[in-house]
Amino acid sequence: MTGQTHAGARRDYLPAMGRHWLLPLYDPFTRLAGVGRIYRQLLDRAHLTDGADSRRILEIGCGTGNLLTTLGRRRPELATVGIDPDPAALRKARRKAARRGLQIRYEQAFADELPVADASFDRVLSSFMLHHLEEDERLRTLREVRRVLRPGGELHVVDVDGTPSGHNRRHQHPRVAGSRPELVLAALREAGLAEVAENGRHQARFGGYVFYRATRPDGEPA
Ligand SMILES: C[S@@+](CC[C@H](N)C(=O)[O-])C[C@H]1O[C@@H](n2cnc3c(N)ncnc32)[C@H](O)[C@@H]1O
Protein backbone atom coordinates (compact mmCIF):
# COMPACT_ATOMS: atom_id res chain seq x y z
CA MET A 1 0.00 0.00 0.00
CA THR A 2 2.97 2.31 -0.42
CA GLY A 3 4.64 3.65 -3.55
CA GLN A 4 4.59 6.83 -5.61
CA THR A 5 2.63 9.92 -4.75
CA HIS A 6 0.21 11.36 -7.29
CA ALA A 7 -0.85 14.92 -7.91
CA GLY A 8 -4.37 15.59 -6.62
CA ALA A 9 -6.36 18.77 -7.18
CA ARG A 10 -3.70 20.92 -5.48
CA ARG A 11 -1.12 18.65 -3.89
CA ASP A 12 0.30 15.16 -3.88
CA TYR A 13 -1.04 12.15 -2.03
CA LEU A 14 -0.33 8.45 -1.89
CA PRO A 15 -3.28 6.59 -3.46
CA ALA A 16 -4.84 3.38 -2.12
CA MET A 17 -2.64 0.85 -3.96
CA GLY A 18 0.43 3.10 -4.15
CA ARG A 19 -0.13 3.84 -7.85
CA HIS A 20 -3.15 5.40 -9.39
CA TRP A 21 -3.58 2.85 -12.17
CA LEU A 22 -3.74 0.02 -9.62
CA LEU A 23 -6.95 1.34 -8.02
CA PRO A 24 -9.17 -1.23 -9.84
CA LEU A 25 -7.27 -3.92 -7.90
CA TYR A 26 -7.95 -2.36 -4.48
CA ASP A 27 -11.34 -3.93 -3.78
CA PRO A 28 -10.37 -7.42 -5.04
CA PHE A 29 -7.15 -7.16 -2.99
CA THR A 30 -8.96 -6.19 0.22
CA ARG A 31 -11.55 -8.95 -0.32
CA LEU A 32 -8.82 -11.56 -0.81
CA ALA A 33 -6.92 -10.29 2.20
CA GLY A 34 -10.05 -10.59 4.37
CA VAL A 35 -10.09 -6.88 5.29
CA GLY A 36 -13.88 -6.99 5.75
CA ARG A 37 -13.29 -8.67 9.11
CA ILE A 38 -11.00 -5.80 10.14
CA TYR A 39 -13.64 -3.19 9.20
CA ARG A 40 -16.12 -5.03 11.41
CA GLN A 41 -13.59 -5.14 14.26
CA LEU A 42 -12.99 -1.39 13.94
CA LEU A 43 -16.74 -0.67 13.97
CA ASP A 44 -17.20 -2.96 16.99
CA ARG A 45 -14.59 -0.88 18.83
CA ALA A 46 -16.05 2.47 17.78
CA HIS A 47 -18.58 2.42 20.59
CA LEU A 48 -21.52 3.31 18.34
CA THR A 49 -24.37 3.32 20.84
CA ASP A 50 -28.03 3.86 19.99
CA GLY A 51 -27.86 7.26 21.67
CA ALA A 52 -27.70 10.70 20.10
CA ASP A 53 -24.05 11.05 21.12
CA SER A 54 -22.67 8.75 18.39
CA ARG A 55 -24.69 9.67 15.32
CA ARG A 56 -22.34 11.85 13.27
CA ILE A 57 -19.50 9.80 11.81
CA LEU A 58 -16.57 10.95 9.66
CA GLU A 59 -14.07 8.67 7.93
CA ILE A 60 -10.81 10.27 6.83
CA GLY A 61 -9.16 8.61 3.80
CA CYS A 62 -12.28 6.60 2.95
CA GLY A 63 -10.94 5.36 -0.40
CA THR A 64 -13.53 3.26 -2.23
CA GLY A 65 -15.93 3.45 0.72
CA ASN A 66 -15.69 -0.09 2.08
CA LEU A 67 -15.74 0.85 5.78
CA LEU A 68 -18.66 3.29 5.49
CA THR A 69 -20.58 0.83 3.29
CA THR A 70 -20.14 -1.81 6.01
CA LEU A 71 -21.28 0.72 8.61
CA GLY A 72 -24.22 1.86 6.45
CA ARG A 73 -25.50 -1.71 6.17
CA ARG A 74 -25.36 -2.07 9.97
CA ARG A 75 -26.63 1.38 10.91
CA PRO A 76 -28.29 3.14 7.95
CA GLU A 77 -29.73 5.83 10.24
CA LEU A 78 -26.31 7.33 11.09
CA ALA A 79 -25.11 10.53 9.38
CA THR A 80 -21.92 9.43 7.68
CA VAL A 81 -19.34 11.44 5.73
CA GLY A 82 -16.23 10.13 3.98
CA ILE A 83 -13.39 12.26 2.65
CA ASP A 84 -10.50 11.33 0.37
CA PRO A 85 -8.36 13.30 -2.10
CA ASP A 86 -8.73 10.61 -4.80
CA PRO A 87 -11.65 11.40 -7.15
CA ALA A 88 -11.56 7.94 -8.77
CA ALA A 89 -11.86 6.21 -5.39
CA LEU A 90 -14.72 8.55 -4.43
CA ARG A 91 -16.57 7.70 -7.64
CA LYS A 92 -16.42 4.02 -6.70
CA ALA A 93 -17.54 4.82 -3.14
CA ARG A 94 -20.54 6.85 -4.37
CA ARG A 95 -21.54 4.08 -6.78
CA LYS A 96 -21.45 1.51 -3.95
CA ALA A 97 -23.64 3.69 -1.73
CA ALA A 98 -26.12 4.35 -4.55
CA ARG A 99 -26.37 0.63 -5.41
CA ARG A 100 -27.26 -0.15 -1.79
CA GLY A 101 -29.52 2.85 -1.29
CA LEU A 102 -27.25 4.24 1.46
CA GLN A 103 -27.13 7.96 2.30
CA ILE A 104 -23.35 8.48 2.66
CA ARG A 105 -21.84 11.86 1.83
CA TYR A 106 -18.47 11.61 0.07
CA GLU A 107 -16.27 14.68 -0.45
CA GLN A 108 -12.90 15.26 -2.04
CA ALA A 109 -10.57 16.64 0.64
CA PHE A 110 -7.28 16.14 2.43
CA ALA A 111 -7.47 14.99 6.02
CA ASP A 112 -5.45 17.93 7.34
CA GLU A 113 -7.87 20.45 5.75
CA LEU A 114 -11.27 19.03 6.57
CA PRO A 115 -14.13 21.03 5.01
CA VAL A 116 -16.32 20.63 8.10
CA ALA A 117 -17.15 22.75 11.15
CA ASP A 118 -15.48 22.58 14.55
CA ALA A 119 -16.90 19.94 16.92
CA SER A 120 -19.28 18.61 14.26
CA PHE A 121 -18.62 14.85 14.64
CA ASP A 122 -19.13 12.29 17.42
CA ARG A 123 -16.72 9.78 15.90
CA VAL A 124 -13.85 9.94 13.44
CA LEU A 125 -12.74 6.66 11.85
CA SER A 126 -9.57 5.89 9.94
CA SER A 127 -8.76 2.60 8.28
CA PHE A 128 -5.34 1.85 6.75
CA MET A 129 -4.85 5.52 5.98
CA LEU A 130 -2.42 7.01 8.52
CA HIS A 131 0.59 5.24 6.99
CA HIS A 132 -0.14 7.13 3.73
CA LEU A 133 0.90 10.37 5.46
CA GLU A 134 4.34 11.88 6.09
CA GLU A 135 5.03 12.52 9.78
CA ASP A 136 4.23 16.27 9.70
CA GLU A 137 1.06 15.70 7.66
CA ARG A 138 -0.03 13.01 10.12
CA LEU A 139 0.33 15.44 13.02
CA ARG A 140 -1.63 18.16 11.16
CA THR A 141 -4.31 15.55 10.38
CA LEU A 142 -4.63 14.44 14.00
CA ARG A 143 -4.92 18.10 15.12
CA GLU A 144 -7.66 18.52 12.52
CA VAL A 145 -9.42 15.42 13.90
CA ARG A 146 -9.30 17.02 17.35
CA ARG A 147 -10.86 20.20 15.93
CA VAL A 148 -13.79 18.44 14.23
CA LEU A 149 -14.62 16.06 17.10
CA ARG A 150 -17.01 17.33 19.74
CA PRO A 151 -15.57 17.32 23.27
CA GLY A 152 -15.67 13.71 24.42
CA GLY A 153 -15.93 12.50 20.79
CA GLU A 154 -13.77 9.53 19.82
CA LEU A 155 -11.22 8.72 17.15
CA HIS A 156 -10.87 5.02 16.19
CA VAL A 157 -8.03 3.95 13.95
CA VAL A 158 -6.72 0.77 12.40
CA ASP A 159 -3.42 0.85 10.56
CA VAL A 160 -0.51 -1.31 9.49
CA ASP A 161 1.91 -2.30 12.24
CA GLY A 162 5.23 -0.68 11.34
CA THR A 163 7.16 -2.67 13.93
CA PRO A 164 10.24 -3.93 12.06
CA SER A 165 10.48 -7.68 11.81
CA GLY A 166 13.29 -9.87 10.52
CA HIS A 167 12.31 -9.94 6.85
CA ASN A 168 11.20 -6.31 6.41
CA ARG A 169 13.75 -4.58 8.64
CA ARG A 170 16.04 -3.53 5.78
CA HIS A 171 13.42 -2.82 3.09
CA GLN A 172 10.75 -1.09 5.12
CA HIS A 173 9.18 1.94 3.41
CA PRO A 174 9.80 5.08 5.56
CA ARG A 175 6.05 5.71 5.93
CA VAL A 176 5.48 2.17 7.16
CA ALA A 177 8.44 2.56 9.52
CA GLY A 178 6.68 5.69 10.84
CA SER A 179 3.70 3.49 11.71
CA ARG A 180 5.42 1.83 14.65
CA PRO A 181 2.73 1.83 17.38
CA GLU A 182 4.85 3.90 19.80
CA LEU A 183 5.21 6.62 17.12
CA VAL A 184 1.49 6.63 16.31
CA LEU A 185 0.62 6.84 20.04
CA ALA A 186 3.10 9.73 20.47
CA ALA A 187 1.55 11.59 17.50
CA LEU A 188 -1.97 11.14 18.91
CA ARG A 189 -0.83 12.64 22.22
CA GLU A 190 1.12 15.45 20.54
CA ALA A 191 -2.06 16.41 18.64
CA GLY A 192 -3.73 17.11 21.99
CA LEU A 193 -5.96 14.05 22.03
CA ALA A 194 -6.72 12.37 25.38
CA GLU A 195 -7.23 8.79 26.58
CA VAL A 196 -4.85 7.67 23.85
CA ALA A 197 -4.47 3.90 23.79
CA GLU A 198 -3.63 0.94 21.64
CA ASN A 199 -6.79 -1.12 21.25
CA GLY A 200 -5.51 -4.46 19.94
CA ARG A 201 -2.84 -5.88 17.65
CA HIS A 202 -3.38 -8.70 15.14
CA GLN A 203 -1.72 -10.60 12.33
CA ALA A 204 -3.33 -10.95 8.89
CA ARG A 205 -2.25 -12.54 5.60
CA PHE A 206 -0.82 -9.19 4.43
CA GLY A 207 0.96 -8.35 7.72
CA GLY A 208 0.29 -7.01 11.19
CA TYR A 209 -2.26 -4.34 12.02
CA VAL A 210 -3.02 -2.29 15.11
CA PHE A 211 -6.12 -0.56 16.50
CA TYR A 212 -5.90 2.75 18.36
CA ARG A 213 -8.40 4.95 20.17
CA ALA A 214 -8.31 8.52 21.46
CA THR A 215 -10.81 11.19 22.49
CA ARG A 216 -11.09 14.93 22.25
CA PRO A 217 -10.66 16.06 25.85
CA ASP A 218 -14.06 16.55 27.47
CA GLY A 219 -14.94 19.88 29.01
CA GLU A 220 -13.02 21.77 26.32
CA PRO A 221 -14.88 24.63 24.67
CA ALA A 222 -16.39 23.36 21.37
C1 LIG B 1 -5.13 2.06 1.78
S2 LIG B 1 -6.35 3.24 1.36
C3 LIG B 1 -7.59 2.93 2.61
C4 LIG B 1 -8.95 3.28 2.12
C5 LIG B 1 -10.09 2.93 3.09
N6 LIG B 1 -9.96 3.64 4.34
C7 LIG B 1 -10.15 1.44 3.33
O8 LIG B 1 -9.87 1.00 4.44
O9 LIG B 1 -10.45 0.72 2.38
C10 LIG B 1 -5.65 4.80 1.91
C11 LIG B 1 -6.47 5.99 1.46
O12 LIG B 1 -5.91 7.18 2.03
C13 LIG B 1 -6.08 8.19 1.07
N14 LIG B 1 -5.19 9.32 1.39
C15 LIG B 1 -3.88 9.48 1.07
N16 LIG B 1 -3.44 10.68 1.51
C17 LIG B 1 -4.49 11.27 2.13
C18 LIG B 1 -4.68 12.52 2.78
N19 LIG B 1 -3.68 13.40 2.89
N20 LIG B 1 -5.90 12.81 3.29
C21 LIG B 1 -6.92 11.92 3.19
N22 LIG B 1 -6.80 10.73 2.57
C23 LIG B 1 -5.60 10.40 2.06
C24 LIG B 1 -5.78 7.53 -0.26
O25 LIG B 1 -6.28 8.27 -1.37
C26 LIG B 1 -6.47 6.18 -0.07
O27 LIG B 1 -7.78 6.19 -0.55
Phi, psi of 210 (to 5 degrees): -135, 140
Pocket of ligand 1 (CB under 6 A): 1, 13-16, 30, 60-63, 66-67, 84-86, 89, 110-111, 127-129, 132-133, 137
Give the global pTM: 0.93
Phi, psi of 13 (to 5 degrees): -155, 160
| Ligand 1 atom with least separation from CA of 137 | 19
122-175: pLDDT as tens digits: 999 999 999 999 999 999 999 999 999 999 999 999 999 998 875 555 556 667
Q: What is the mean pLDDT of residues 115-126?
A: 98
**Res 5: pLDDT:** 57
Question: Which is more confident, 52 or 91?
Answer: 91
What residue segments make up the domains of the chain, in order of their start? 28-215
Residue nearest to atom 2 of ligand 1 (CA): 16
Instruction: Report d(CA 135, CA 75) in Å as an integer.
Output: 34
Residue nearest to atom 26 of ligand 1 (CA): 16
Q: Check pLDDT > 50 for residue 211.
A: yes
Q: Kindly give the distance from the C-alpha atom of residue 142 to the centroid of ligand 1, in angstroms, as a whole number.
A: 14
Q: Check pLDDT > 60 for residue 31.
A: yes
**Res 169: pLDDT:** 57
Q: Which class is domain 28-215? A: alpha beta
Instruction: Measure the CA angle with vertex 81, ends 80 and 84; round to 5°.
Output: 145
| Ligand 1 atom with least separation from CA of 14 | 15
Q: Check pLDDT > 70 for residue 4.
A: no
C-alpha separations of 25 from 17, 102, 153 in Å: 8, 24, 34
C-alpha separations of 166 from 28, 104, 170, 171, 176 in Å: 28, 42, 8, 10, 15
Phi, psi of 27 (to 5 degrees): -65, -45
Q: Check pLDDT > 60 for residue 9.
A: no
55-103: pLDDT as tens digits: 999 999 999 999 999 999 999 999 999 999 999 999 999 999 999 999 9
Show Cβ contacts of residue 50 under 8 Å, excluding neighbours closer than 6 positions. none
